[in-house]
Structure 1
Amino acid sequence: MAAQKKREPRKLLGRKAWITLDGGFAARQCVVHDISSAGAKIRIEGAASLPARLKLAFARDARTGRACQVVWRRDNSAGVKFV
């Protein structure tokens, strides 16, 4: 019998955040829908055009935030895992 993969508990958030691309340039506003210790679901216009790696922060300051890898994209939502 295969072991079931447990998903990290997620906390609903609905909080404004920013993603930064290109080494700290091009800050874009998004909304963090939910978050866990492993990753987050974000809502952002043009999610399909997000690069594979970005930084997610709750302040617009490009020096803050967590490095992320995009693991899925759907309409105006994307799932990221923290790396």
Structure 2
Amino acid sequence: MKARHLNREVRRTRHLSAWIKVEGRAHCECQVLDISTHGAKVIVASAVPDRFELAFSEGGQHRVCEVVWRRAKMLGVKFIF
């Protein structure tokens, strides 16, 4: 049996502050632990919906996200737009 190799996208470790926005309003602050072109790993303090906007504190960038996995207060999200 051949070993199966998964090609993972390069992730960059970051410790960025961001805000989770739901329906255009700030919902809660969060920390981005790592980020790639197509997604991020985020730590949140409260429950968040499956789809939200991630607004980075530095640079003013916003990304629409969809939750791919959840582990306690840690989320894996993919960027939609």
TM-score range (shorter-chain normalised) is: 0.7 to 0.9
* Aligned residues with identical type, % of pairs: 42
Instruction: Say which structure is richer in strand.
Output: 2
Question: Equivalent residue for 1:39?
Answer: 39
Root mean square deviation of aligned Cα: 2.1
Superposed CA deviations along residues 27-56 of structure 1, whole A, max 9, x for unmatched, are 31000000000100001113xx32110001
User: Structure 1: 5+ residue runs without aligned partners?
Assistant: none
Would you say the 8 A contact 2:28–2:45 is kept in 1?
Answer: no
Q: What TM-score do the two structures reach when normalised by structure 2? A: 0.83
User: Structure 2: 5+ residue runs without aligned partners?
Assistant: none
Question: Equivalent residue for 2:65?
Answer: 68
Alignment length (residue pairs): 78
**1:20 corresponds to which letter in structure 2?**
K
